Structure 1
Amino acid sequence: MLFPTVQFLVFFCVVFAAHWSLADRPRLDKTMLLLASWFFYASWHPSFLALLIGSAANSWLAGFLLDRLPQGTRARRAVTAASVGLHLLTLGVFKYYGFFGPELLALGARLGLALPLPLLEIVLPVGISFFTFQGISYVVDVARGDARAARDPLDVFLYIAFFPHLVAGPIVRAAHFLPQLAAPPRADRVPLVMAGLLILGGLFKKTVIANGLATGLVDPVFADPAAHGALDLWLATYGYAVQIYCDFSAYSDIAIGVAALLGFHFPRNFDQPYRARSLAEFWRRWHISLSSFLRDYLYRPLGGNRRGPRRTMANLLLVMLLGGLWHGAAWTFVLWGLLHGLALAVERAAGWKGAAGWRGLLAAILVFHLVCAGWILFRSPDAAMAGEVFAGLFLGAGEVGTRATGWTVGLILLGLALHWLPAGWLGRVEAAFRTWPAWAFGLLAGAALVAIDAIGPDGVAPFIYFQF
């Protein structure tokens, strides 16, 4: 069930009406939201609903036990390790067995060993990385004392399965979400205008910009990079940078807006990342919920930057390699993580933290092109095709003509221009629209929906991050 579809609109209207009619009956309301979230997930693949429920049950049981064990005990550490280990094992089997299994068999054959590993065709459950990380967040936050264990298991199951952020984030911390379940939602606190702007903006970025670039430029060029000239490859690279930003940030915006209409607050997940003047700043602006998760649950426990420069660089490399593998089981993702890890380590060693003025602009251009180099690895199905793209950028062995049109070039420029709007611009737009009568804003929103549907290409493409 995709966000920009009539099917989801009908589903959400039913949930919205039921939710606010049950607002004064919290337990019944939470039960309804949980069942609706399970229905939402089952619409993708019903058999994987048991996996989602099992993940939530693991987290709840660990929290239940941790709440009854004293701090600092061996039993408490064992419960935490067992729960997190089970989460990671489940993620590993479904997401990485198909990658590491054949690699281990090939290694065993070279060493003359017959490893007893069956070759299995495993279907990747939608959103498994996101709800697994949320389950880990709950367990670790309770173990650290950053969040209290939920007394009601319904709260934990709803936290893991809540449909707005279930399949593609943002990754919401237990310490942020669970307190919002403690009190009934209030309709008078719902930011209707901001929620509407986020949803409309997300639909525009996904339907018009991301889908338009994918179908009109990026997909055809990356399908056969050797047949295209350097100009096409450069434009397709820039196009993919804009596409993946608009695609993923669109999902986050819609998820935040939908949650807001139900009275819940989600943290911001993107903050104009392509204006970053250092790669460290880029990761503070891109997929903020993932980068902060890796920082707080992996980088800092490894020692962060507190154990000398060599250990800091090693930690950065390890964290980014694991971040690459989180995105997918392929050597291209490993190389993507390695590129970012090495660049972050070089930045740290050089003491670079960005600059202002024209030096800052040059730094932003350099960082953007480094990120684009990473996107080539990210977009390519294998290292060989990534190599073809890199070679074609400078050698241009394909046709001299270009597949790009004025429309696709305009979409690229528009997507990049969004990163240079003044800080707080959306808040000022919201303040202006709040003075409008509700019916006028509703008419404008309806007209915008019709225009978005008319401008965008036919069909509804899945969000890129559904595969993660």
Structure 2
Amino acid sequence: MIFPTVEFGIFFLIVFVISWAVRGLPEARKLFLVGASYFFYAWWDWRFLGLLFLSTLISYIAGLAVARAEREGLRKFIVGISTVSHLAILGFFKYYGFFLVSFAALLEAVGLERDLPFMQVILPIGISFFTFQGISYVVDIYRGHVTAERSLLNVTLYISFFPQLVAGPIVRAADFLPQLHRPAALTREYLGIGLVLILSGLAKKMVIANYLATELVDPVFFDPGMVSALDLLIGIYGYAVQIYCDFSGYSDIAIGVAALLGYRFLDNFNQPYRAASLQDFWRRWHISLSTWLRDYLYVPLGGNRGGEVKTYRNLFLTMFLGGIWHGAAWTFVFWGAFHGAMLAAERYMKGKLEEFAPSHTDPGGFIATIGNGARYVVGVIWTFHLVCFAWIFFRADSFSTASDYIAGFARWGDPSLYVTPFAAGLIAIAMFFQFTPVRLGNWLARGVEYLPAPLLAVLFGGGIWVIWAIAPEGVAPFIYFQF
């Protein structure tokens, strides 16, 4: 079931009405939302409902065990067993085929071909997201950031809540579980946030992302060796916008739907293409994942403690493993390794640059303003193109396709086949909104809060109709469903 479909609209309308009809019975409401979430997941493939519940049960039992254990060694052991169990499930379903194929290729390269136990393994949708939530829940109990839940129902709803189940954002237990202990209420604030985010998410996905995918990105990446350098350049700009609008659009809808059900998720994107450094980019892009990697991988590795060399190592390993999380392919491995290496190099160069030419700190001086402004503009342009280069490997289906794409930048004399004013206009509009006031969405939501309910319904319904009317036919799956 995909968000921008009639099926989901009917499903959510039923869930919305019933969930608020039983708001006076908190446990019944939570049980209903769990049932709705499992139905939502079963719409994809009912065979994996047991896997979803198994992941939940591991987290629930491990959380209680950690809370009751008194010896530190036993607490660590329980956390380790829980984490290994989660990762073993994720590794089998997501990486079994990748590692077996890679191992077979290695054996063939050294002349030791063997018949290996190949079998077709279906990747359960959303497994990476609910696995990470299960791991963080147990770790946070161990760290004392959250209290172990005695209610299996609460943990089940936390892991399976349908708005974020299949593509995030990765919700922290400390942010969500306390909301289950308060009476649910649909405030004007939540109503405004929900409606504005749902409309913005639909517009991003159905109009900008889908048009760029079908009319520019997909044709250019299908055979990059046959198109011009201009097509390739605008094509990768188009993909940068497409993946942002696709994924942030999903996050907007997920956060908006949760708000209409009375729950608040944290923001998952914050205008990432206005970042003036890779470090800043990762503070703005897929925030729930980048902070998860920071808190549960980078910090346990040592973070920035232990000297510069270990910091560079930890940055590289964190992003390298982040690349592997995104997909079972060597292109994703390279993408993560590239970001890790560039983050380490950026940290090193930033330190050297500050020694050679310290940034101006006097905000009132004209020279300081010009100097810092120039640094920012150069930083934004450099960071954006560095990210775009890495996107080539993220989008390409193989290293061969990626190398053809990069080699094609030499064909500047060839005519363009896919660059149109419409595609360029969509890219320009999306990039314009990267530099609007940060709280623009909140201002719009606050304005919506005070509208009469009938007018609000008309505007929301009209907005959906307009988006549906101008969007291309068909509904493409969200890019992050494959992760």
TM class by smaller structure: over 0.9
Give the distance between the partners of 1:412 and 1:338, measured in 2 at CA.
Answer: 28
Go from structure 1 to structure 2 and tell me whether the alpha carbon gap of 1:189 and 1:446 turns closer, same or farther (over 3 Å shift).
closer
Aligned twin of 1:332: 331
Structure 1 range deviating more: 303-312 or 401-410: 401-410
Q: How does 1:102-181 map to 2 (within 5 A)?
A: 102-111=101-110, 113=112, 117-181=116-180
Structure 2 counterparts to residues 266-345 of structure 1, below 5 A:
266-345=265-344
> Shift of residue 111 of structure 1?
4.4
Report the equivalent of 1:37.
37
CA distance change for structure 1 residues 83 and 116 in 2, over 3 Å: closer, same or farther?
farther
Deviates most, 105-114 or 413-422: 105-114
Q: Where does residue 440 of structure 1 map in the other structure?
A: 455
Aligned residue for 2:325, secondary structure, equals helix
Residue 377 of structure 1 pairs with residue 366 of structure 2: no
Q: 1:411-460 deviations in whole A, cap 9, x for unaligned?
A: 11111111010121122222333333222222122111111111110000
The one-letter amino acid of 1:372's match is C
Select the residue among 363, 385, 388 that pairs with 2:404.
388
Query: Are the aligned partners of 2:171 and 2:265 in contact in 1 as well (CA < 8 Å)?
Result: yes
Superimposed CA distance per residue, residues 344-366 of structure 1 (whole angstroms, 9 cap, x where no aligned partner) = 00111123699831220111011
| Alpha-carbon separation, structure 2, partners of 1:112 and 1:459 | 48
Q: Distance in 2 between matches of 1:233 and 1:242?
A: 14
**RMSD, matched Cα:** 1.6
> Could you report, residue by residue, the CA deviation over 1:256-277 in whole angstroms, capped at 9, with x for unpaired residues?
0000001101000000000000
1:92 offset after TM fit, Å?
Answer: 0.5
Query: 1-side partners of 2:443 and 2:103: how far apart?
Result: 55
Residues 189, 455 of structure 1: CA spacing in aligned structure 2 closer, same or farther, 3 A cutoff?
closer
DSSP 3-state at the match of 2:434:
helix
Which residue of the partner structure matches residue 457 of structure 1? 472
- State whether residues 276 and 282 of structure 1, in contact with CA within 8 Å, keep that contact through their aligned partners in structure 2: yes
Tell me how far apart the structure 2 counterparts of residues 130 and 389 of structure 1 sit (CA, whole Å): 31
Q: Residue 365 in 1 paired to residue 381 in 2?
A: yes
Tell me the TM-score normalised to structure 2 length.
Answer: 0.94
- Give me the whole-angstrom Cα distance separating, in 2, the residues matched to 1:394 and 1:154: 59
**Partner amino acid for 2:137?**
Y
- Could you tell me the TM-score, scaled by structure 1's length? 0.97
CA–CA distance in structure 2, aligned partners of residues 188 and 208 of structure 1: 30
- Residue aligned with 1:305, SS: coil
Write the distance in 2 (CA, Å) between the matches of 1:356 and 1:163: 44
Which residue in the other structure is 1:414 paired with? 429
Quick check: 1:56 aligned with 2:85?
A: no
Query: Aligned pair in 2 of structure 1 residues 188, 412: CA closer, same or farther (>3 Å)?
Result: closer
CA distance in 2, matches of 1:49, 1:15: 19
Unmatched 5+ stretches in structure 1: none
- Aligned pair count reads 466
Aligned to 2:363: none
* Runs of 5+ consecutive residues of structure 2 not aligned to the other structure: 360-370
- Aligned partners of 2:189 and 2:446 also within 8 Å: no
CA distance in structure 2 between the partners assigned to 1:167 and 1:298 by the alignment: 22
How many Å separate the matches in 2 of 1:178 and 1:463? 27
The residue aligned with 2:70 is: 70
Instruction: Give the drift of 1:113.
Output: 4.8
Structure 1 contact 15–33 (Cα < 8 Å) conserved: yes
CA distance in 1 between partners of 2:300 and 2:144 (Å): 15
1:115 positional shift:
6.2
| Aligned-pair CA distance for 1:210 | 0.2
Q: Please name the residue that 1:20 is paired with.
A: 20
Amino acid at match of 2:33: L
What secondary structure, in the 3-state scheme, does the structure 2 residue paired with 1:187 have? coil
1:67 aligns to what SS in structure 2? helix
Maintained 8 Å contact 2:189/2:449: no
CA shift in 2, pair 1:67/1:372, >3 Å: same
Pairing of 1:207-218 with structure 2 (within 5 A): 207-218=206-217
What is the CA–CA distance in structure 1 between the aligned matches of 2:208 and 2:113, rounded to whole Å?
50
- CA displacement 1:16-44 (0-9 Å, x = unmatched): 11111111111111111001100000100
Aligned residue for 1:301, secondary structure, equals: helix
Please say which of residues 410-419 and 400-409 is displaced more in the overlay.
400-409
What is the rounded CA distance, in whole Å, between the counterparts of 1:115 and 1:134 in structure 2?
38
Measured in 1, the distance between the counterparts of 2:149 and 2:7 equals 33
Question: What's the % identity of the aligned pairs?
Answer: 52
Quote the offset at 1:9 in angstroms. 0.7
| Deviation larger for 15-24 or 287-296 | 15-24
* Alpha-carbon contact 1:130-1:166 (below 8 Å) kept: yes
Cα separation, 2, equivalents of 1:13 and 1:190: 20
Any idea what the Cα deviations from partners look like across 1:294-318, whole Å, max 9, x if unmatched? 0000000000011111101111111
Q: What SS class does the counterpart of residue 136 from structure 2 fall into?
A: helix
Deviation (angstroms), 1:464: 0.2
SS of aligned partner of 1:24 = coil
Query: Structure 1 residues 81, 114: CA separation in 2 closer, same or farther (over 3 Å shift)?
Result: farther
Deviation, 1:63, is 0.9
CA distance in 2: counterparts of 1:23 and 1:115, whole angstroms: 60
Report the counterpart of residue 192 of structure 2 in structure 1.
193
Distance 2:245 2:71 in 1: 44
